[in-house]
Amino acid sequence: MLERSVKSNAPKGEFGILFSGGIDSVLLALLCKRAGLKFSCFFGFLDGLGEPKDLAFAKRAADFLDVKLELAPVSMESLPKLIGETISLIGSTNPVQVSVALPLLAACSKAKQMGIKTVFSGMGADELFCGYAKFRNAVDIAFESMRLVQLLPENDLKRDLAIASHCGLEIRAPYLNSEILRFALSLPKNLKLSGQRNKIILRELAVSIGLPKELAERKKVAAQYGSNFDKGIERLAKKAKAKGKRDFLEGFAKKPEIAALFSGGEANGGFAADARCKRIAALFSGGKDSCLALWLMQQKGFGVECLVSVIPKNPDSFMYHKPGLAILKMQSGVLGIPLVIERTAGVKEKELAALKKALSRAKKEFGIEGVCSGALYSNYQRERIQGICDSLGLLFFSPLWHMDQVAELKMLVDSGFVFIVSKVAGLGKDWLGRRIGGKEIAELESLGRKNGLHPAGEGGEFESLVLDAPNFSKRIAILSMKKNIQSGLNGSIEIGDAGLESK
């Protein structure tokens, strides 16, 4: 399963692995080596405070695997500036968040300098295979694993995506493959945890395919300690006579000279356009996810040069919604962004050719350097879009990836998006044409708790249509529509006439 995930996540050409010498990253590197993939390992650390605990193991593991280990040292003199940049990017002064983000930023910056576009992360292994000490006291380790996995988007993924994207990189986590997730949750405790030994199945797997037991059984410390960045922050806090690390970071973030270094909206986290990619295309269905992703990219300074829509004949396409062409053109008009359209029969896998053709046109006609998608949780869509982008030499951005679904709906409503339910497949015909607001979000959240429904429709329960957004110059008004009901739970709307209204 890990081999399959590694191969499916590997881009064409050289990529990087965020490498600490711990079992998670070492096992990924070992599998990549066995697969004959071209990669380098990257290790970020703070220099000048003695050798970091992880460095010797990272070197030893890289030597054994005979892979390139690129070191990304940060001096104590440059640490304050890097802290300011990190706080600005992740939007947090939490000492743990900052000290974990620092080695990641150092490693990603090094990877960017070397022209790397994609990096692998060992994210998810601790949550799935009991890497944390808290598992020893857990009554139900499967429940605790699931709880921690659900917290990943807000706790770790958001931070890591912000850092990687700022460096023009895409970060991929092979352990978070859905097949591995289901398998890990089904494992008995003795294959994960026994006494002081954790991640048992990963360690035994590594030994079985040739890793020395010394490296496989190594007890690794957390990234902030193994890289010396926690120690560096503590030293700076003492020098500043702060009450503690949190007090120091909060005061540090308020310094006007630090804020001046990182202007341009970065304080809210996320990523910004840089010299490597400023002109992008937005994959566009006219629904809430693609509209929100487009707007967020604009907020971060990217120029959205065109919208790319692939229209399938098959209403149950695996890749695409089937929006009305007239509405798509109206949305393009009020956004002031040209629309590139390709049509496809909507046959699974074959429909990817239409997307590649559309993006090739966008690259040729509009000079795009990247692509953004509104993908939330669909690995099927994300992996295939990434593969096409890799083949065309385009960066790929997923600003909504693994965002909490209720949080996404609230962000849409709070930001001024007006959208209705355009299709239902299990949600119920009464939702057709209904505008989503606070009341509806509460209902969807409740249905999620009771019935397992995905509040944002990620299970295919519904599709949406955006009628207004912060970047629309005018509001779209539906003048007539028809509800086509296939059953009590399934159906779609057919718009007869629509017009534009001033805002």
Please check the confidence at residue 318 and state whether its pLDDT lies above 50: no
DSSP-based three-state secondary structure for 239: helix
Q: In whole angstroms, give the CA distance from residue 250 to residue 252.
A: 5
Q: Give me the amino acid identity at 111.
A: A
Computed on alpha carbons and rounded to an integer, the radius of gyration of the chain in Å comes to 24
Residues 279-501, CATH architecture:
3-Layer(aba) Sandwich (3.40)
Q: Name the more confident of 485 and 338.
A: 338
Question: Could you tell me the pTM of the whole model?
Answer: 0.55
Please check the confidence at residue 270 and state whether its pLDDT lies above 50: no
Q: Do domains 2-261 and 279-501 have the same CATH topology?
A: yes
Parse the chain into domains and list their residue ranges: 2-261, 279-501
Please check the confidence at residue 278 and state whether its pLDDT lies above 90: no
233, 83 Cβ separation under 8 angstroms = yes
Q: Domain 2-261 carries which CATH code?
A: 3.40.50.620
* pLDDT for the residue numbered 277: 64
* pLDDT for the residue numbered 211: 92
Give the HSE-up count for residue 358: Cα atoms under 13 Å, Cβ half-sphere: 24
Please check the confidence at residue 91 and state whether its pLDDT lies above 90: no
β partners of residue 372: 282, 397
Confidence grade of residue 136 (pLDDT, cut at 50, 70, 90): confident
Long-range contacts of 206-210 (CB under 8 A, 24+ apart): 206/23, 206/26, 206/27, 206/30, 209/30, 209/31, 209/34, 210/30
Please check the confidence at residue 150 and state whether its pLDDT lies above 90: no
pLDDT mean across residues, the chain: 87
Please check the confidence at residue 122 and state whether its pLDDT lies above 80: yes
Mean pLDDT for the stretch of residues 54-71:
94
Q: In whole angstroms, give the CA distance from residue 423 to residue 116.
A: 40
Read off φ and ψ for residue 35, nearest 5 degrees.
Answer: -80, -5
* pLDDT for the residue numbered 168: 86
Read off φ and ψ for residue 124, nearest 5 degrees.
Answer: 100, -25
Q: In whole angstroms, give the CA distance from residue 169 to residue 213.
A: 33
Please check the confidence at residue 346 and state whether its pLDDT lies above 60: no
Angle (nearest 5°) at CA 274 between 268 and 278: 105
Give the HSE-up count for residue 463: Cα atoms under 13 Å, Cβ half-sphere: 21
Task: Give residue-wise pLDDT tens across range 439-448.
Answer: 999 999 999 8
Q: Give me the amino acid identity at 24.
A: D
* pLDDT for the residue numbered 128: 94
